[in-house]
Amino acid sequence: MTEKFDAVDVIRTKRDGGQVPEDALRWMVDAYTRGYVSDAQMASFAMAVLLRGMARDEIRVMTDAMIRSGERMSFAGLGKTTVDKHSTGGVGDKITLPLAPLVASFGVAVPQLSGRGLGHTGGTLDKLESIPGWRAALSNDEMTAQLRDVGAVICAAGSGLAPADKKLYALRDVTGTVEAIPLIASSIMSKKIAEGTASLVLDVKFGSGAFMKDLDRARELARTMVELGTDSGVATTALLTDMNTPLGLAIGNANEVRESVEVLAGGGPADIVALTTALAREMLALAGQPDADVEAALADGRAMDAWRRMIRAQDGDPDAALPVPRETHTVTAPAAGVVTRMDALPFGVAAWRLGAGRARAQDPVIHAAGIDLLVKPGDRVAAGQPVFTLSADDPARFERALDALDDAWEIDPAGNPVPEAERAGALVRERITA
């Protein structure tokens, strides 16, 4: 077979700041997926993209080429409107767990293909696997049947979706090109568009515990992804949300499931409730229900009923006891005052060191490990009052976790408390649409 293009020419075009022609860019993605273009050549191209960027049309073409590298699912025969949500990840971000059943309780189908944690950011599938019996792997037929019967499914993406992205993602991770916004956007959106949802809401986070530390960069990523969704016929909106402080009070796996169930029972931390309901309103608006009373669905038990059906459909027991840690260590306030800061990133790293996360994709997670915050920034504390509790199965892990938390939180003796509702209301910074 004679190849239509030369990888070196494509690399040079992007290296020199040019726009790669559509047919050459499609060839580059396909040839890399086939193994004709080497890892070294694609790494060079990815670095050129990081340094030179891509035009909107280039990003659209690259995303479409990645979609075409594998299967594309369709829910056209489902008889329900489909809407999905994607978060760029953070610390304590368990929003998918209460959100999917909440939206499904309005008769909308939520096909939530999720992933596992790596490093300081937790994985939705890891959290749900705290529930005895629950399974992440579903066939396409099982997924469709569950969407029809229950309305919500949270499961692992099949290997057939955007295999080009899977290969390129692993390469970016080891070549210093993860931060390239065109590559981040095409990676996320190729999988979401291939998944077949009719509409999509993006939760794009910024701050200490987010992938994008800077608000302007997060805004650029959000706009790029909204454009990609729109160009592909998927109605897409994005919320820019603050990830400088961990979400909720639980950081880990089993404890985040407990907190999610509290929200579904009509309680839970104000920030988790605020973000869950904000995203639910966005999703339901795209699904044609702009006036849906999402707070009522949490209060009257409809969302909880959908959660229990969703867990049972994937062989989990919603009434089973969740894992508990063998060892705990509580940190107390050294002085009275107002908590002014809890940096998300160090708390995420600490939870990871306790065993709640993984350093390598093949590592196991300890479902009972993690951190429970007992106060949040804006709360007043007394000297000696418990501030947070570390949980682990091995007490030897506490020392390194505490090292990560050195200078990660702060108390101001003269500070003024901030009402919880005010803090929760400040989570969503901007809304971005097409």
Q: Tell me if 203 is assigned to some domain.
A: yes
Same domain, 34 and 134: no
Same domain, 193 and 238: yes
Q: Residue 365: give its domain's CATH number.
A: 3.90.1170.30
Choose the final residue of a domain: 320, 352, 372: 320
Q: Tell me if 431 is assigned to some domain.
A: no
Nearest to 191 by CA among 82, 68, 287: 68
Q: What is the mean pLDDT of each run of 10 residues along the chain (434 residues)?
A: 92 97 97 96 97 96 95 90 94 97 98 80 90 95 95 89 89 86 94 94 95 94 96 96 97 97 97 98 97 97 98 98 97 98 96 88 88 98 98 97 97 96 95 95
Same domain, 228 and 273: yes
Choose the final residue of a domain: 290, 320, 350: 320
Q: Tell me if 75 is assigned to some domain.
A: no
Strand order in the sheet with 235-242: 83-87, 199-206, 235-242, 428-432
Residue 8's CB: how many other CB atoms inside 10 A?
A: 12
Q: How far is CA 170 from CA 86, 166, 177, 380, in A?
A: 20, 6, 10, 44
Q: Are strands 337-342 and 409-412 parallel, antiparallel or unpaired?
A: antiparallel
Separation of alpha carbons 37 and 35, rounded Å: 6
Q: What is the DSSP string of 45-101?
A: HHHHHHHH---HHHHHHHHHHHHHTSB----TTSSS-BEEEEE---SS--THHHHHH
Same domain, 152 and 183: yes
Separation of alpha carbons 271 and 247, rounded Å: 7
* Direct distance between the N- and C-terminal alpha carbons of the chain, in angstroms, rounded to an integer: 42
Question: What H or E segment, with its residue span, contains residue 380?
Answer: strand 380-381
Same domain, 96 and 45: no
Same domain, 127 and 208: yes
Same domain, 140 and 255: yes
Looking at residue 2, its pLDDT comes to: 86
Which residues are the active-site residues? 86, 165, 172, 187, 191
Looking at residue 207, its pLDDT comes to: 96
Choose the final residue of a domain: 320, 339, 357: 320
Q: Tell me if 430 is assigned to some domain.
A: no
Same domain, 211 and 283: yes
Same domain, 148 and 294: yes
Q: Residue 37: give its domain's CATH number.
A: 1.20.970.10
Residue 200's CB: how many other CB atoms inside 10 A?
A: 28
Q: 410-427 burial, b if ≥16 CB within 10 A, otherwise e?
A: ebeeeeeebeeeebbeeb
Q: Tell me if 427 is assigned to some domain.
A: no
Q: Tell me if 71 is assigned to some domain.
A: no
The token duo for 352 is 């990871």
What global pTM score does this model have? 0.94
Q: Residue 274: give its domain's CATH number.
A: 3.40.1030.10
Q: Tell me if 64 is assigned to some domain.
A: no
What is the domain count for the chain?
3
Same domain, 375 and 304: no
Same domain, 162 and 22: no
Same domain, 130 and 12: no
For residue 292, the enclosing domain spans: 83-320
Q: Tell me if 184 is assigned to some domain.
A: yes
